[in-house]
């Protein structure tokens, strides 16, 4: 019998690789016991990456979500882990050192055991401070190698980085194959090399399924000494996500490895709950192409999770490109033609930008440059004329050292613009900032929260946190969900009038009790603004007032809790008794 292989369910990443949003806290609390009952997971990824931002976009408190989701796993003896971006921590751009240090104290207090620390450039100067901060806070720092395939990303390159990370105190190494393009043979050799040099270090493999190499890679790393494999499960396994635990377990068991049994009743229940979350509302924001695998991903090397946003970009410029071609008397391009052209351009751009591993945020930078180049080429203009500031920061070294050399034309372009290259420690560009955020919390009368978690949230995601506190975020999300539902119905072939009828059929009309003017704002306690689609009303809340001909303000109540699906009357409109002012749906989809 070969060594024991443990499994980690990347429940957070399953969602992030599939669509825009993640389950709400009430959904996470419902699914956690079922995941535990499956009995096959030593670890579960609960948060990190975009998790906190998604909660803020909902208008919900991410700190409550992390505490609630990690609690049942702790009680069951299952380790929880999160994903963080080193210098960028939980966001897409650099974070001051004092905010990074606070993050690990907060996340440990919230019940997160392990933090997977990665840098998109594999820059050890961005990873090593986080290792130290995590150890200080009592967390397990899992240092990460972002895997890609290029002439510079060799076994020797990665092994040398692993040496530095282990020396800095990392007890674990993750091979993060975010696009699934790492070649199985190379991954096996890398795993064996790290294990031979550092036999005490635990190795966890994380490989997406997009281009179809993941199962072979899992087998290779296990044969070479890996300890834990990240897996997914239906209904979101495979595609651009991760292999399913059932398939991985069967493959490894047949090869003689010790693997845990799977409680299939619990698997099916977890599967059903996850599908329920998709059907509830999350599916409206999931790109269907993320359920597909594509060997084309081997060509461009982009992470599968980016395919949705990339296809949205392409659809957005497709008609514009064809108009340009038409004006030149050239044949229009199909979307597939444009996709291949973009893949070719990514392949061209990537080495000239120094081979940054195509992971957040550098995958976005490379893709954006390639897309802008494609637009310029179609117009008959030069490449490289539209490079954004974040990409320039990467090129100039402000994010860390690039793995490969920059092309001479990029260096010349930077000099022509008067830009200066730097090799300084990237953190030096971002001074401490917590005192500034403490001042803002004090001025607003906001509580710092348990273990300073609210202070941390403001400092990490200041704009989103302010929107959450003001209620703007919740309003925005509710409107977005309503639009997404309307778009889904329209896509299903329903006309605008049919959609309106369908929504009305599921709602209750708010009827004018007498003739008069509809008023949303009056000088008495009551509505402060006109209702918008998605706004929630309680059963005892004044919906509007009717200004009667005899000078009275007659309050109108819904009489039930619900959300607005249509507003039929504007401020000052005259309605007759019995006419409909608005439609409100009783079922609270956000409760």
Question: Above 70 in pLDDT, residue 521?
Answer: no
**361: cis peptide before it, omega within 30°?**
yes
Residues 304 and 416 in one domain: yes
Q: Report the range of poorest mean pLDDT among 35-49, 247-261, 517-531.
A: 517-531
Answer yes or no: do 422 and 503 share one domain: no
* Position with higher pLDDT, 39 vs 298: 39
| pLDDT for the residue numbered 571 | 84
Q: The CATH number of the domain where 529 resides is what?
A: 2.40.50.100
Percent pLDDT > 70 in the chain is 96
Task: For residue 420, tell me if it sits in a domain.
Answer: yes
Question: Which pLDDT value is given to residue 548?
Answer: 85
The pLDDT tens digits of the residues spanning 408-431 come to 999 999 999 999 999 999 999 899
Pairing type for strands 553-557 and 542-547 reads: antiparallel
Give which of 395, 294, 398 is closest to 350, Cα–Cα: 395
pLDDT, average across residues 524-529 = 54
Tell me which H or E stretch contains 517: strand 516-519
CA angle at residue 392 from 390 to 396, to 5 degrees? 125
One-letter-per-residue 3-state SS of 142-177: EEEEECCCCCCCCHHHHHHHHHHHHHCCCCEEEEEE
307 and 424 fall within a common domain: yes
Would you say residue 233 lies in a domain? no
pLDDT tens digits, 461-499: 999 999 999 999 998 898 888 888 888 877 777 777 777
Whether 209 and 293 have beta carbons less than 8 Å apart is answered as yes
Can you tell me the distance from the alpha carbon of 79 to that of 483, in angstroms, rounded to the nearest whole number? 39
Could you tell me which residue, 371 or 442, shows the higher pLDDT?
442
What confidence tier does 99 reach under pLDDT thresholds 50, 70, 90? very high
Average pLDDT, the chain: 91
pLDDT at 495: 75
Chain mean position to CA 508? 36
Residue 585 has what DSSP assignment? E
Cα 395 from Cα 399, distance rounded (Å): 8
Q: Does 301 share its domain with 424? A: yes
311 and 397 share one domain: yes
Residues 27 and 274: their CA atoms lie apart, in Å, by 9
Is residue 183 domain-resident?
A: no
Q: b/e for 180-204, b at 16 or more Cβ within 10 A?
A: bbbbbebbbbbbbbbbeebeebbbb
R_g over Cα of the chain? 27
When mean pLDDT is compared across 191-200, 228-237, 504-513, the lowest value belongs to: 504-513
Examine the fold and report which residue of 370, 402, 428 is the final residue of a domain before the chain moves on: 428
Cα–Cα distances (Å) from 76 to 4, 32, 40, 98, 558, in that order, read 20, 10, 12, 33, 45
Domain assignment present for 558:
yes
CB 562, CB 585: distance < 8 Å = yes
What does the pLDDT look like over 177-231, one tens digit per residue? 999 999 999 999 999 999 999 999 999 999 999 999 999 999 999 999 999 999 9
CA distances for 207 relative to 85, 183, 319, angstroms: 17, 11, 35
The CB-side HSE value for 351 (13 A sphere, CA atoms) comes to: 8
- Where do the H-state alpha helices sit in 360-505? 362-379, 389-396, 408-416, 434-444, 453-460, 462-470, 472-491, 496-505
How many domains does the chain contain in total? 2
Compute CA 452 distance to the chain's CA centroid, rounded to the nearest angstrom: 24
pLDDT for position 535: 81
CB 531 within 8 A of CB 567: yes
pLDDT tens-digit readout, 310-330: 666 777 778 888 888 888 888
Could you give the CA distance from residue 429 to residue 12 in angstroms, rounded to a whole number?
A: 31
Q: How confident is the model at residue 590 (pLDDT cuts 50, 70, 90)?
A: very low
**What is d(CA 245, CA 232) in angstroms, rounded to the nearest whole number?**
6
- Contact between 219 and 184 (Cβ < 8 Å): yes
**Same domain, residue pair 416 and 507:** no
Q: Report the candidate in 292, 316, 318 with the shortest Cα–Cα distance to residue 305.
A: 292
CA torsion 562-565-571-574 (nearest 10°) is -100
d(CA 547, CA 543): 13
User: Are residues 394 and 514 both part of a single domain?
Assistant: no
Q: Please work out, in degrees rounded to the nearest 5, the angle formed at the alpha carbon of residue 127 by the alpha carbons of 126 and 133.
A: 105
Cβ proximity of 342 and 374 under 8 Å: yes
Domain's final residue, options 388, 406, 428 = 428
- By the 8 A CB rule, do 179 and 304 touch? yes
Last residue of a domain, one of 428, 450, 474: 428
The answer on 499 and 424 residing in a single domain is no
519 in the same domain as 401:
no
Same domain, 318 and 408: yes
User: What range defines the domain where residue 352 resides?
Assistant: 297-428
Q: In 479-508, which positions are buried (b, 16+ CB within 10 angstroms) versus exposed (e)?
A: ebbbeebbeebeeeeeeeeebbeebbeebb
Nearest to 171 by CA among 191, 143, 193: 143
- β-pairing, 228-231 with 6-9? parallel
Domain co-membership, 424 together with 306:
yes
3-state secondary structure of 80: strand
Same domain, 420 and 503: no
518 falls within a domain: yes
């Amino acid at each position: 019998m070969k060594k024991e292989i443990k499994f980690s369910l990347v429940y957070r990443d399953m969602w992030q690789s599939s669509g825009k949003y993640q389950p709400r806290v009430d959904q996470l609390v419902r699914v956690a016991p079922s995941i535990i009952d499956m009995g096959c997971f030593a670890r579960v990824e609960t948060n990190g990456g975009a998790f906190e931002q998604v909660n803020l976009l909902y208008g919900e408190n991410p700190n409550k979500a992390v505490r609630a989701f990690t609690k049942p796993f702790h009680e069951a003896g299952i380790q929880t882990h999160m994903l963080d971006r080193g210098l960028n921590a939980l966001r897409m751009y650099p974070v001051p050192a004092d905010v990074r240090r606070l993050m690990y104290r907060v996340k440990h207090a919230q019940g997160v055991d392990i933090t997977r620390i990665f840098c998109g450039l594999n820059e050890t100067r961005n990873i090593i401070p986080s290792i130290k901060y995590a150890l200080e806070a009592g967390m397990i720092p899992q240092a990460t190698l972002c895997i890609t395939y290029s002439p510079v990303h060799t076994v020797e390159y990665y092994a040398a980085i692993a040496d530095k990370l282990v020396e800095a105190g990392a007890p674990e190494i993750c091979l993060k194959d975010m696009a699934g393009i790492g070649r199985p043979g190379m991954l096996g050799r890398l795993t064996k090399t790290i294990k031979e040099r550092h036999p005490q270090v635990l190795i966890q493999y994380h490989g997406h399924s997009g281009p179809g190499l993941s199962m072979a890679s899992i087998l290779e790393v296990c044969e070479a000494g890996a300890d834990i494999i990240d897996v997914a499960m239906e209904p979101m396994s495979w595609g651009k996500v991760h292999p399913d635990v059932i398939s991985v377990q069967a493959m490894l068991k047949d090869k003689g490895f010790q693997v845990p049994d799977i409680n299939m009743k619990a698997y099916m229940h977890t599967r059903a709950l996850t599908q329920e979350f998709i059907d509830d509302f999350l599916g409206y924001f999931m790109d269907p192409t993320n359920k597909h695998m594509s060997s084309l991903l081997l060509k461009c090397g982009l992470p599968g999770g980016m395919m949705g946003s990339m296809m949205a970009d392409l659809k957005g410029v497709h008609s514009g490109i064809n108009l340009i071609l038409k004006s030149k008397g050239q044949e229009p391009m199909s979307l597939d033609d444009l996709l291949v052209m973009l893949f070719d351009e990514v392949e061209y751009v990537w080495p000239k930008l120094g081979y940054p591993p195509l992971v957040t945020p550098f995958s976005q930078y490379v893709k954006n440059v390639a897309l802008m180049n494609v637009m310029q080429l179609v117009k008959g203009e030069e490449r490289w004329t539209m490079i954004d500031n974040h990409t320039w920061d990467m090129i100039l070294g402000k994010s860390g050292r690039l793995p490969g050399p920059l092309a001479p034309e990029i260096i010349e372009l930077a000099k022509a613009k008067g830009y200066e290259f730097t090799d300084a420690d990237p953190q030096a560009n971002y001074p401490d900032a917590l005192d500034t955020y403490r001042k803002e919390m004090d001025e607003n009368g906001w509580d710092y929260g348990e273990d300073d978690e609210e202070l941390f949230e403001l400092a990490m995601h200041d704009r989103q946190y302010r929107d959450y506190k003001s209620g703007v975020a919740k309003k925005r999300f509710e409107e977005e969900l309503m639009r997404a539902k309307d778009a889904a119905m329209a896509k299903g072939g329903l006309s605008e009038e049919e959609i309106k009828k369908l929504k009305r059929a599921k709602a209750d009309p708010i009827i004018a009790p007498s003739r008069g003017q509809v008023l949303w704002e009056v000088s008495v306690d009551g509505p402060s603004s006109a209702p918008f689609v998605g706004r929630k009303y309680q059963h005892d809340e004044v919906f509007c007032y009717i200004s009667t001909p005899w000078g009275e303000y007659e309050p109108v109540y819904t009489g039930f809790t619900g959300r607005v699906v249509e507003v039929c009357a504007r401020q000052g409109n005259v309605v007759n008794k019995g006419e409909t002012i608005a439609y409100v749906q009783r079922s609270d989809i956000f409760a």
